[in-house]
Amino acid sequence: DLVKTGGINQYVVQDVASPKQLPSQLNKFKSTLRSHGPICILEHFDTGYSVLQHFNALELGVKEDTLELLVQVVNGLAV
């Protein structure tokens, strides 16, 4: 579990956002992606993880926004 474990050179989720927080977190992610490029996934990994944790409770629009952002990140890193 990424929230509970971590060691040297391992990533740990620091904050699992609530479903109510996720739309604003995704807006921050989107803004950072525009300004800093796909490497921003390191800063916003917790947001994506939070979407997965609360997937069944989220509105379709939040899920679609997350998918769009992750596709942009992967496309940017694949270049």
Domain definitions of the chain by residue range: 22-78
Q: Please, is 38 exposed, middle or buried when counting C-beta atoms within 10 Å of its C-beta (0-12, 13-18, 19+)?
A: middle
Q: 22-51: per-residue pLDDT in tens?
A: 999 999 999 999 999 999 999 999 999 999
Cα–Cα distance, 7 to 78 (Å, whole number): 27
Supply the pTM of this predicted model. 0.86
* Confidence category of residue 4, pLDDT binned at 50, 70, 90: low
Extended strands (E) in the chain: none
